[in-house]
Structure 1
Amino acid sequence: MVDTGAKDVTAEPELLLLLERSRAITVQGSDKSGRAVVRIVGKHFPARALGGRAEESLKAYLRERVLPEVGEREFVVVYVHSLVDRGDNFPGLGAIRAAYESLPAAARDRLRAVYFLHPGLQTRLFFATVGRFLFSSGLYEKLRYMSRLEYLWAHVHKGELEVPECARRHDEELERRPLMDYGIEANERRCMYDAASMDTSSSLHSLRCIS
């Protein structure tokens, strides 16, 4: 099978080192079906530091660091969206889509599920409308929303996945203020960027954080 994404996957070593040190993307343990778990912590992704090189750096890091560690195993992705700030740590939907499509077809086939932790109402609405047209059906159909950590533990071994402090704090806040799940109540931080999260007026590469 022809690998159409390999030719343009390059990045400077210092950018890959920056991603590695951030621990935004790591392979951690296995899920309850024995598949490898790729953990992505949105808040830790150094989008601002990578600047205009975020897309190529993400592609290269997945190809050079993550896929070799996963090997030929099936795998799932746990994406931790807790407290992501579009100005600091979100690379843009265009970069995410390009990174996924740059993976070899065999690797895309081995991806069995994407567990999206703490999506929020805006995210659900976005993917139910615009999002389904931006991503291939193969990826869209693998998306699973996890509004609480407790639901994630039904799929992933709790002791094998390192939960970042931002996710623990946000989970606790959701337990105290459950109306946040429905967009009726929001903390000050989320109000700062929810209103602009659905901006799709320009190219895919300019799409901002969704929350």
Structure 2
Amino acid sequence: MESTEGSFEDLEELQFFNPQGFDKAGRRILRIVGKHLPAPIVDNVRLKEFIQHKIFKEIPTEQFCVVYFHSKVSRKDNNPGVFNLRWFYETLPTDVRQRLEVVYFVHPGLLARTLLGTLGRFFLSDRLYHKLIYVSRVEFAWDYIKKGHLHVPEFVLEHDKELEHRPLMDYWVDSDPLGAYGVSGGGPRHSVNWAS
């Protein structure tokens, strides 16, 4: 992940942070694909600079929202940590924080919901905490987002189907670690890593 100072080509190639269409309230969407974020490899300061660069370049003055896909995120590989998220948010200029109106958290998982629900005000700033909207299935995202305005990665749709066929996975009751009950044949299925 080496690059020249001020260049973000390597991060751009990962496609984890992209502006897209609009939600139903007319806010520009910033899509974050958690699985594509190489958290242990990228320096947090550089990651913050990249995020700010994208916001200033793509959404200099508009109100915006974030759609964050948590599907298949691994704590050790993709999760920058809740304290870093708070730091990212708090280091944004005040006008940017005010223009960020909502964060749609898709496929949050039981542990993420529990931690954010009980300790979210401590881990996140109070303002950011109140901007969170949990979206348990992609189909419910269309309650908030205009269809055709958001590219949903294939692995997110596959995970969504798995959750739909085995709803207790939402509550950490049915993890199917051996893949015995995969929705479609063709190899073992893996459940979401709830430790993130």
TM-score bracket for this pair, using the shorter chain length: 0.7 to 0.9
Quote the residue 1:115 is aligned against.
104
Quote the residue 1:34 is aligned against.
26
Q: Give the whole-Å Cα distance in 2 for the aligned partners of 1:89 and 1:121.
A: 17
User: Conserved in 1, the CA contact under 8 Å of 2:22 and 2:145?
Assistant: yes
User: Conserved in 2, the CA contact under 8 Å of 1:19 and 1:46?
Assistant: no
Shift in Å, 1:131: 2.2
TM-score, normalised relative to structure 2: 0.86
Quote the residue 2:142 is aligned against.
153
| Structure 1: gaps spanning 5 or more residues | 1-10, 198-209
Structure 1 segments, 4+ long, off by >4 Å, are none
Q: How does 1:130-169 map to 2 (within 5 A)?
A: 130-169=119-158
| Structure 2: gaps spanning 5 or more residues | 178-189
- The structure richer in helix per residue is 1
Q: Give the whole-Å Cα distance in 2 for the aligned partners of 1:121 and 1:91.
A: 18
User: Conserved in 1, the CA contact under 8 Å of 2:83 and 2:124?
Assistant: no
Percent pairwise identity: 44
User: Conserved in 2, the CA contact under 8 Å of 1:37 and 1:75?
Assistant: yes
Alignment partner of 1:13 is 2:6: yes
Q: Give the whole-Å Cα distance in 1 for the aligned partners of 2:91 and 2:77.
A: 24
Alignment partner of 1:99 is 2:88: yes
Quote the residue 1:56 is aligned against.
45
Count of matched residue pairs: 181
User: Conserved in 2, the CA contact under 8 Å of 1:81 and 1:119?
Assistant: yes
Q: Give the whole-Å Cα distance in 1 for the aligned partners of 2:176 and 2:69.
A: 18
Q: Give the whole-Å Cα distance in 2 for the aligned partners of 1:24 and 1:130.
A: 26
User: Conserved in 1, the CA contact under 8 Å of 2:68 and 2:104?
Assistant: yes
How well do the aligned residues superpose, as a CA RMSD in angstroms? 1.6
Match of 1:22 among 4, 10, 14: 14
Q: Could you list the per-position Cα deviations for residues 16-52 of structure 1 after superposition, in whole angstroms to 9, with x for gaps in the alignment?
A: 22211101000001111111000000001122332xx
Alignment partner of 1:85 is 2:74: yes
Quote the residue 1:180 is aligned against.
169
TM-score, normalised relative to structure 1: 0.81
Aligned to 2:40, the other structure's residue is in SS state helix
